[in-house]
């Protein structure tokens, strides 16, 4: 449980932004940053660095774009050793918008990609690394990747990419402990000069346990969110992970405080966490967008009908 190399990254605002179009107000983000800083968590991910040429500022909040000035406003004056991260998606970032590290409050840029776009991800990572940032590659929808394609991608990342961490991303909450073990061991067998990271979703209530499984097999970079806030079923809860790690540098108390003050009221405004439709998409290794859409209809609790959309009705 205690391993010096382990780093925890909080992605509450980034992954949680997928629930509310990244429209958190500055006060809320500041309170989260205070709590994360006081808890000793290593990184906090503020959101996405997406191109304003592709996405409208009228439709999305500021954490879809993570302008340096907005980050400075949310963090200014707070004493903190927590490093700041942002995420970019392959094909959705204008690299000219990203200033050199020496001119930015951001410490780490994480590149999210599918296996098929690994060449593009490597280009982005190497570009950002040359600008002075820590970098990672987050391979999304890992449970949809063909084994031979993943093998080739990992070899490319080992030999051509400057990222220091390569993440397993269980985008659909489909993984079980056995498959988590296999994936971490596969990553470790090929990535000799890089760390392995784990980003787990909680569709089947396995986000925390799969993260523990990844730790057991020497994944050292761990994603989590406060109270599990994240798209659909959400993520591995940060408070559970800190409680498990038993590392004296972490303090769970500030996280519990911010949950009481900020996240309990937030639950009355937006929905996230384990519910049956998200569990069903997890069972079938499918994107939760269908469940999220179903929850906005007047049949949001018709679970059997939703299940039958994947299987067809049972035969009498």
Question: Do the Cβ atoms of 288 and 232 come closer than 8 Å?
Answer: yes
Asked if 303 and 259 sit in the same domain, the reply is no
- Residue 108: CA atoms inside 13 Å, Cβ hemisphere, count? 24
Asked if 127 and 225 sit in the same domain, the reply is yes
Report how far residue 60's alpha carbon sits from residue 146's, in angstroms, rounded to the nearest whole number: 33
Strand, coil or helix: what is 145? coil
Total-model pTM = 0.96
Asked if 186 and 288 sit in the same domain, the reply is no
The parent domain of residue 299 ranges over 276-311
Identify the CATH number of the domain in which residue 116 sits.
3.20.20.70
Q: Is the pLDDT of residue 138 over 90?
A: yes
Asked if 163 and 283 sit in the same domain, the reply is no
Asked if 253 and 299 sit in the same domain, the reply is no
Q: What are phi and psi of 173, to 5 degrees?
A: 65, 40
57-80 residue pLDDT tens: 999 999 999 999 999 999 999 999
pLDDT of residue 263: 98
What is the rounded average pLDDT of the residues 266-278?
96
155-174 residue pLDDT tens: 999 999 999 999 999 999 99
Is 271 inside a domain boundary?
A: no
Question: Do the Cβ atoms of 7 and 221 come closer than 8 Å?
Answer: yes
Q: Is the pLDDT of residue 1 over 80?
A: no
Q: Who contacts 81 (Cβ-Cβ below 8 Å, separation ≥6)?
A: 37, 40
Question: Do the Cβ atoms of 233 and 272 come closer than 8 Å?
Answer: yes
Report how far residue 54's alpha carbon sits from residue 209's, in angstroms, rounded to the nearest whole number: 37
Asked if 289 and 250 sit in the same domain, the reply is no
- The number of folded domains in the chain is 2
pLDDT of residue 3: 86
């Amino acid at each position: 449980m205690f391993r010096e190399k382990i780093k925890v990254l909080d992605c509450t605002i980034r992954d949680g932004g997928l629930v509310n179009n990244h429209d958190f107000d500055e006060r809320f983000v500041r309170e989260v940053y205070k709590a994360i800083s006081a808890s000793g968590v290593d990184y906090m991910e503020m959101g996405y660095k997406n191109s304003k040429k592709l996405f409208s500022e009228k439709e999305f909040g500021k954490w879809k774009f993570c302008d340096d000035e907005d980050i400075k406003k949310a963090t200014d004056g707070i004493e903190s050793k927590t490093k700041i991260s942002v995420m970019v998606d392959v094909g959705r970032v204008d690299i000219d918008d990203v200033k050199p590290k020496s001119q930015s409050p951001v410490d780490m840029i994480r590149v999210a990609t599918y296996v098929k776009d690994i060449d593009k991800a490597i280009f982005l990572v190497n570009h950002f690394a040359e600008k002075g940032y820590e970098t990672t590659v987050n391979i999304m929808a890992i449970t949809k990747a063909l084994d031979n394609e993943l093998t080739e991608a990992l070899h490319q990342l080992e030999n051509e990419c400057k990222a220091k961490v390569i993440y397993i991303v269980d985008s659909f909450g489909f993984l079980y402990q056995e498959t988590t073990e296999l994936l971490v061991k596969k990553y470790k067998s090929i990535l000799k000069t890089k760390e392995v990271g784990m980003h787990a979703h909680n569709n089947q209530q396995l986000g925390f346990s799969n993260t523990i499984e990844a730790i057991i097999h020497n994944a050292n970079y761990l994603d989590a969110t406060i109270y599990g806030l994240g798209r659909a079923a959400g993520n591995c809860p940060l408070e559970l992970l800190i409680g498990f790690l038993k590392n004296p540098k972490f303090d769970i108390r500030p996280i519990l405080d911010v949950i009481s003050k900020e996240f309990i009221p937030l639950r009355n405004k937006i929905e996230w966490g384990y519910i049956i439709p998200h569990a069903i998409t997890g069972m079938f290794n499918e994107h939760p967008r269908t469940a999220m859409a179903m929850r906005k209809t007047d049949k949001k609790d018709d679970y059997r009908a939703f299940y039958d959309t994947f299987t067809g009705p049972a035969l009498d």
